[in-house]
A and B are shown apart, each in its own frame.
Chain A
Amino acid sequence: MSFMQGIYLDNQSAMLPDPRVLDFAKRYLIEVPGNPSALHSVGLAAKSAVEEAREKVAELINAEDARNVIFTGSATEANNLAIRGTAMRNASKGMSLLASRIEHISVLNSMKDLQKNGFQLQLIPVDSKGIVDLQALERMISKQTIVTSVMYANGEIGTIEPIKEISHIVHEKGMLLHVDATVAAGRIPIDVQNDGIDLLTLSSNDICGPQGAGALYAGPDVKIQPVTVGGGQERGLRPGTENLFAIAGMGEAARLARLEMSDDSIRLKAIRDSLIREILKIDETHLTGHATNRLPHHASFRFDRIEGESILLTLDAMFDIQVSTGSACSSRTLEASHVLLALGLKHEQAHGSMVMTLGKSNHPDQISVVFDAVKKTVARLRALSPL
């Protein structure tokens, strides 16, 4: 049974892998049982698949050397390795950490874990559109700030950060910049050399690859240590037998993303812009994030006097349209999102959030259907609202 009968607009939480990726990678589930560390021919075939995937991922982000790409089990694991591995390895140079207020919870929690071991954490403010305050960054950074982490783009509000300027500020102090590109990779061009990125996090399932793989790019000047120990896989930085199917799939997904990103972006941006234009016609509705400097597939809103969870459930149950409310963290606690609070919104304003992320299955004919459903949903919920 397929669950994908309606209009699926939650491609950021999860998306189906591209069928071409599955076709490519399935042989590593059913034909090549090799362990890439084994020296025999089957092991070598598996090793070759991992290295081919590494090349493809390196090309997506223009890494100078594919050996600087380390495969992990997820983007969360890559964020942990980037932050904890770099901080612990370089603790003799300083014990200060910086992150934007709107980072993913895997970045913030990695830093909080380091806080318990004596590191100091400061959070960089953002403006009302989610753009990092560069002047605040300049004031806060020092030669003891061993890792600064700012995401390429935010998954909850779609805003793209000025990474090149941020890199310039961080590098003026001679320090390292980590960029979580989980939601941006495959959507907009990323060039780690031109952008001046030292560490970059990627996720397989966010670029239409299988779940179960992520990657960390660590530039040639970055000293890092493992956060889990075991055998010597992935230069010892991510020990454990490689998930061959997911890694091969991630590589193929990276190759397809590099080739098709430009056309996909134009197509999805047109649908996205129409959705935003229509939905903002509903009274007391606001766009969250930056109006123009945002991911091409991303539309996010907040509605006065109603809760995001009610919108999500009504759209799903009555119209078979799937959206999200924002971060997994706030979905779990039903508390206001830390991202929306960082924009300066009040708790009650931050509760009425709806995020739509487009993917390959979406097309322009769906715009009027979605608009009509959202309009009816908002009217129905406001009629019930005690606020």
Chain B
Amino acid sequence: MSDIVPDTELDCIGLYCPLPLSMAKENIANIDIGQVLKILADDPDAEKDIPGWAKRAGHQILMFERSGQVATFWIKRIR
């Protein structure tokens, strides 16, 4: 388990494209620059889609964990 304390958490378990990405965008827009968004997702494409979006949007993936089907991302808002 990570010791990074997120400022907000987004549960996308059971959701598929486009929801994890659209909700991630909405959630990161609602935190301050420097704060951390934690996302849980089990869409099989999440491991590709979420880091791809974070990179294009200029945010930083602080950490990634996988437990069974659930991928967890800690993303720091940079811009």
Contact of B18 among A113, A116, A332, A347 (CB under 8 A): A332
Select the residue from A105, A108, A333 with max chain B CB neighbours within 10 A: A333
Tell me whether B21 and A112 are in contact (CB under 8 A). no
Tell me whether A112 and B18 are in contact (CB under 8 A). no
Tell me whether A112 and B16 are in contact (CB under 8 A). yes
Asked whether any CB of chain A lies closer than 8 Å to the CB of B64, the reply is no
Tell me whether B43 and A330 are in contact (CB under 8 A). no
Restricting to A12-63, which residues have a CB under 8 Å from any CB of B? none
In the bound complex, CA of A332 to CA of B18 (Å): 7
For B12-25 the 0/1 string (1 means CB < 8 A from A) is: 00001110011001
- The closest CB in chain B to the CB of A112 belongs to B44
Q: Which residues of A contact B56 (CB under 8 A)?
A: 347
Asked whether any CB of chain A lies closer than 8 Å to the CB of B69, the reply is yes
Tell me whether B18 and A333 are in contact (CB under 8 A). yes
Q: Which residues of B contact A328 (CB under 8 A)?
A: 18
In the bound complex, CA of A218 to CA of B25 (Å): 39
Rounded to whole Å, the gap between the CB of A206 and the closest CB of chain B is 20
Interface residues on B, range: 10 to 19
Tell me whether B44 and A116 are in contact (CB under 8 A). yes
Restricting to B1-52, which residues have a CB under 8 Å from any CB of A? 16-18, 21-22, 25, 42-45
Q: Which residues of B contact A262 (CB under 8 A)?
A: none
- The closest CB in chain A to the CB of B49 belongs to A335
Q: Chain A interface mostly helix, strand, loop or mixed?
A: helix
Rounded to whole Å, the gap between the CB of B22 and the closest CB of chain A is 5
Contact of B53 among A105, A113, A329, A335 (CB under 8 A): A335
Restricting to A108-127, which residues have a CB under 8 Å from any CB of B? 108-109, 112-113, 115-116, 121
Q: Which residues of B contact A113 (CB under 8 A)?
A: 16
Q: Chain B interface mostly helix, strand, loop or mixed?
A: loop
Q: Which residues of B contact A347 (CB under 8 A)?
A: 56
For A72-116 the 0/1 string (1 means CB < 8 A from B) is: 000000000000000000000000000000000100110011011
Q: Which residues of B contact A115 (CB under 8 A)?
A: 44
Q: In the complex where A116-B69, A335-B53, A347-B56 touch, is A329 in contact with B18 (Cβ < 8 A)?
A: yes
In the bound complex, CA of A334 to CA of B25 (Å): 10
- The closest CB in chain A to the CB of B43 belongs to A112
In the bound complex, CA of A112 to CA of B44 (Å): 6
Interface residues on A, range: 10 to 19
Rounded to whole Å, the gap between the CB of A215 and the closest CB of chain B is 23
Tell me whether A112 and B22 are in contact (CB under 8 A). no
Tell me whether B21 and A333 are in contact (CB under 8 A). yes
Rounded to whole Å, the gap between the CB of A337 and the closest CB of chain B is 11
Restricting to A296-335, which residues have a CB under 8 Å from any CB of B? 328-330, 332-335
Tell me whether A109 and B44 are in contact (CB under 8 A). no
Tell me whether B44 and A105 are in contact (CB under 8 A). no
In the bound complex, CA of A226 to CA of B62 (Å): 43
Tell me whether B17 and A329 are in contact (CB under 8 A). yes
Tell me whether A333 and B44 are in contact (CB under 8 A). no
Tell me whether B45 and A333 are in contact (CB under 8 A). no
Rounded to whole Å, the gap between the CB of A101 and the closest CB of chain B is 12
Q: Which residues of A contact B21 (CB under 8 A)?
A: 333, 335
Tell me whether B42 and A116 are in contact (CB under 8 A). yes
In the bound complex, CA of A279 to CA of B69 (Å): 47
- The closest CB in chain B to the CB of A334 belongs to B25
Select the residue from B17, B44, B53, B69 with max chain A CB neighbours within 10 A: B17
Q: Which residues of A contact B16 (CB under 8 A)?
A: 105, 109, 112-113
- The closest CB in chain B to the CB of A331 belongs to B18
Rounded to whole Å, the gap between the CB of B24 and the closest CB of chain A is 9
Q: In the complex where A105-B17, A109-B17, A116-B42 touch, is A333 in contact with B22 (Cβ < 8 A)?
A: yes
7 new A-B contacts, CB < 8 A, other than A112-B43, A115-B44, A335-B18, are: A105-B18, A109-B16, A112-B45, A113-B16, A116-B44, A332-B18, A333-B18
Q: Which residues of A contact B (CB under 8 A)?
A: 105, 108-109, 112-113, 115-116, 121, 328-330, 332-335, 347
The 3 residue pairs across chains A and B that have the minimum distance between CB atoms: A109-B16, A329-B18, A333-B21
